[in-house]
Amino acid sequence: MGYEVTDATVALTGLIRGRVQGVFFRAETLARARKLGLKGWVKNTREGDVAVLLAGPEEDVRSMQNWLRSDPPLARVDSVELTECAPPACSGFEIRY
């Protein structure tokens, strides 16, 4: 299920804005990212948004990016602002506090 950092590895980081706190958004994101075998994290921000770092094979990262935009259950996503970054040195996907 994991991957090695290769030329095909893509990493994105940024914010998801909308009604994304208090609606199990982080838990749903965690489950979806682990299902795809992605590396990274998800966490709430003080401003009421959710920050993410996603890394993995391009197809899986793009699939996750599309899922984030699709208004996961109970959430209302107003915007997803992700930019490319260096792949993280982490071994899985987690919720950060």
3-state SS string over 49-75? CEEEEEEEEHHHHHHHHHHHHCCCCCC
pLDDT tens-digit map of 2-28: 444 454 689 999 999 999 999 999 999
The rounded distance, in Å, linking the Cα atoms of 46 and 65 is 22
- Take residue 24 and report the two structure tokens written for it: 């199990």
Percentage of the chain modeled with pLDDT above 70: 92
- The CATH code of domain 9-87 reads 3.30.70.100
Whether 26 is catalytic is yes
Catalytic site residue from 32, 34, 44, 62: 44
Assess whether pLDDT exceeds 60 at residue 90: yes
Catalytic site residue from 26, 46, 76, 96: 26
Domain ranges of the chain: 9-87
